[in-house]
Amino acid sequence: MTVIQIYDTTLRDGTQGEGISFSVEDKIKIARQLDRLGVHYVEGGWPGSNPKDMEFFQRVRDEQFRNTKISAFGSTRKAGRPASVDPNLRAIVDCGVRVAAIFGKSWDFHVYRVLGTTLEENLAMVRDSVAFLKSHGLEVIFDAEHFFDGFRANPQYAMAVVRAAQNAGADTVVLCDTNGGTLPTELKEIMTYTGQALEVPLGIHAHNDGGLAVANSILAVEAGCTQIQGTVNGYGERCGNVDLCTVIPNLVFKKRLPCIPEENLVYLTDLSRYVSELANMSPDVRQPFVGTSAFAHKGGVHVNALLKDSQTYEHIPPESVGNKRRVLVSELSGLSNLVYKYRELNLGLEEDSAECRRILSELKDLEHQGFQFEGAEGSFELLLRKAYNGYRKPFILETMRILTELRDEGHVYSEAIIKLRVNDQVVHTAAEGNGPVNALDAALRKALEEFYPAIRRMKLHDYKVRVLNEKSGTGAVVRVLIETGDGRKSWGTVGVSANIIEASWQALADSFAYGILKLGENSDSEAKAP
């Protein structure tokens, strides 16, 4: 059975997405991760367009890839210019790759309005460019830009373009839904027709402007295409490209087609989040397969069924794509949610116990006050441990005072003075910050680092405030969510109060307590003496 090749263009097409840019080092790192997954082709960029891409191709020569071929991207020659002197084509040849992907116009509208040339000259541009690259021993992938729009407008000409690429020696012809507006049934019909008319293998390059890129790519495979071009997380221009993190597991687990080795898909979630981090983009929590909510369960009926068999509400095991199951607890929860979390934490609690029902009642009361634990699993675990299993706090606040001064030239000065009890020792300290919460963070860190050295690895990543009852004005209750991390994992904590400093303290104190617990210096052991 023919292997469905995955052609990743995150490093080129993905960077055309709004707000996305990768350094050369980023691109090298991502290429390594794509190779680990088993991606067949990685498009590194357009060597003729900018110095960054040229540097990438120079540096990537020293990399050793087990699964991946590095491809360079470019366009057909300019009108009226021989391919042998076209600077973009020369740059592809000179950059040292063995695979080239070039695009050409297959929509007559674009030939007239964008290129400003004749239909015959455009065909010559396709033939000459492919033949030139083949003469230098490269594997050539021809991307037929706007093919589906072109086929609708002038099917004879669109077919003439892909035939020109085939006859010039292209190894693969990729049909591009560049505007992303083709419906799946129409795309499959055109793909089937084209595949029957050509001898060269076909690929699909689908954009997501109609929200159909994954469906279009899968139907293209059903119609006989053997290469899918896409990006990690669907990054790309406008609404993005097809998301390889969605299309790959659908091909492997649902279609049972040879593609990326099934055992490699355990790296998929890590890849998605790694690329998000380098792109400085927040991961989509609802992203299929790899999002943090992809296997999150909240309704009590659902969780009750999950406890009996995970297949009741999960279409695949989350571990198969490197993800994990999450059970959320909120005012919608039943006893099953709570029991599941206790089992997950190895705390042990009987489902029908009075203690379990008391904790659930307390939880729902806290949610009614404004607490929200879905994004604050650190605070939720501490809540469970405080209620059960003899949890002991790593520190206790005795007093806290915040001073804020507005000084000359508009500079704001904040100082936090705190007194803590740590294992029956009193610590009294102060610290400055650029705001009251920053000062509190610094003071708490200063007080605890000698007792719990591991917290030096902890950093506050995010701080959010939400007003819960806007009509109350400055007296409104606020919810503070804090995200903290240690370089390997992150956790959320929450605080709620009509006083923003108190709410911030609740979330901040939980973030440190949870970090101490997870970093191995938990409250069950004696804190170190300074």
Cα separation, 355 vs 366, whole angstroms: 17
Comparing 21-25, 61-65, 470-474, the range with the smallest average pLDDT is: 470-474
pLDDT of the residue at 524 = 41
Is pLDDT of 285 > 60?
A: yes
In DSSP terms, 430 is beta-bridged to 417
Residue keyed to tokens 């699993």: 377
What is the chain's percent helix, strand, coil content, to nearest 5? 45, 20, 35
Contacts of residue 282, defined as CB under 8 A and 6 or more positions apart, other chains included, come to 276
CA distances in angstroms from 164 to 72, 120, 312, 463, listed in the order given: 21, 11, 52, 57
Is pLDDT of 525 > 60?
A: no
Q: List the 459-467 sheet strands across, edge first.
A: 459-467, 478-485, 490-497
pLDDT of the residue at 522 = 39
* Strands annotated E in 342-473: 396-406, 412-422, 425-433, 459-467
Cβ count near 287 (within 10 Å): 20
Is pLDDT of 409 > 90?
A: no
In DSSP terms, 466 is beta-bridged to 479
For the ranges 49-63, 215-229, 359-373, 439-453, the one whose mean pLDDT is highest: 215-229
Q: Which CATH architecture has domain 5-279?
A: Alpha-Beta Barrel (3.20)
Q: Quick one: pLDDT band at residue 4, thresholds 50, 70, 90? A: very high
Cα separation, 391 vs 24, whole angstroms: 48
Residue keyed to tokens 């460019």: 129
- What is the rounded radius of gyration, in angstroms, for the C-alpha atoms of the chain? 29
* Strands annotated E in 51-179: 69-75, 99-105, 139-145, 172-177
pLDDT of the residue at 508 = 94
Residue keyed to tokens 């455009």: 122
Q: Which CATH architecture has domain 396-518?
A: 2-Layer Sandwich (3.30)
pLDDT of the residue at 527 = 45
Q: What is the DSSP letter of 315?
A: S
Higher pLDDT, 336 or 233: 233
Contact 8/34 with Cβ under 8 angstroms?
Answer: yes
pLDDT of the residue at 240 = 97
pLDDT of the residue at 443 = 94
Higher pLDDT, 156 or 373: 156
| DSSP structure string for 166-202 | HHTT-SEEEEEETTS---HHHHHHHHHHHHHH--S-E
Higher pLDDT, 369 or 381: 381
Q: How many CA atoms lie within 13 A of 496 on its CB side?
A: 15
Q: What is the DSSP letter of 291?
A: S
**DSSP run (H or E) holding 383:** helix 377-387
Residue keyed to tokens 């097809």: 242
Q: What is the pLDDT of residues 127-147, one digit of tens each?
A: 999 999 999 999 999 999 999
**For residue 347, how far is the Cα from the chain centroid?**
32
Q: 208-232 as b/e, with b when 16 or more CB fall inside 10 Å?
A: bbbebbbbbbbbbbebebbbbbbbb
**DSSP run (H or E) holding 122:** helix 119-135
Contact 13/41 with Cβ under 8 angstroms?
Answer: no
pLDDT of the residue at 333 = 55
Contact 47/53 with Cβ under 8 angstroms?
Answer: yes
Average pLDDT, the chain: 89
| DSSP structure string for 250-262 | IIIIIS--SSS-G
Nearest one of 145, 152, 223 to 188, comparing CA atoms:
223
Cα separation, 326 vs 407, whole angstroms: 48
Q: Region 382-397: what's the mean pLDDT?
A: 80
Q: What is the pLDDT of residues 468-489, one digit of tens each?
A: 876 677 778 899 999 998 877 8
Q: What is the pLDDT of residues 216-273, one digit of tens each?
A: 999 999 999 999 999 999 999 999 999 999 999 999 999 999 999 999 999 999 999 9
Cα separation, 20 vs 231, whole angstroms: 13
Nearest one of 408, 444, 415 to 427, comparing CA atoms:
444
Helices 354-369, 377-387: axis angle to 10 degrees equals 140
Cα separation, 329 vs 362, whole angstroms: 12
Residues 197, 198, 201: CA angle, nearest 5 degrees = 140
Q: Which SS3 state, helix, strand or coil, does residue 438 take?
A: helix
Per-domain residue ranges of the chain: 5-279, 296-367, 396-518
Percentage of residues of the chain with pLDDT beyond 90 = 68
Backbone angles phi, psi at 183, to 5 degrees: -80, 150
Cα separation, 386 vs 438, whole angstroms: 27
